[in-house]
């Protein structure tokens, strides 16, 4: 996302509480320890969410494609 947006978009991984930690250079991560994000937003493996600067959800892509990310 960062590369496609020429640095205007930041990426962050939301992981289930039991997910093993794997390093992804330059990408921050958060553990959804109580499953709240997954319940509220329908988060599932491979989903991508685009959040606007004002905090509102702009898009939910399952699975995301380059074209959809560019449009979001």
Domain boundaries, the chain: 12-71
Mean of the per-residue pLDDT values for the chain?
78
pLDDT the model gives residue 10: 77
Q: State mean pLDDT over 19-26.
A: 76
pLDDT the model gives residue 16: 83
Radius of gyration of the chain (CA): 12
Question: Containing H/E element for 68?
Answer: helix 66-71
């Amino acid at each position: 996302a960062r590369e496609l947006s020429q640095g205007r978009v930041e990426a962050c991984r939301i992981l289930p509480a039991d997910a093993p930690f794997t390093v992804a250079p330059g990408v921050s991560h958060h553990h959804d320890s109580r499953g709240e994000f997954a319940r509220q937003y329908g988060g599932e493996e491979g989903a991508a969410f685009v959040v606007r600067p004002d905090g509102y959800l702009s898009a939910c892509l399952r699975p995301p494609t380059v074209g959809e990310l560019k449009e979001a």
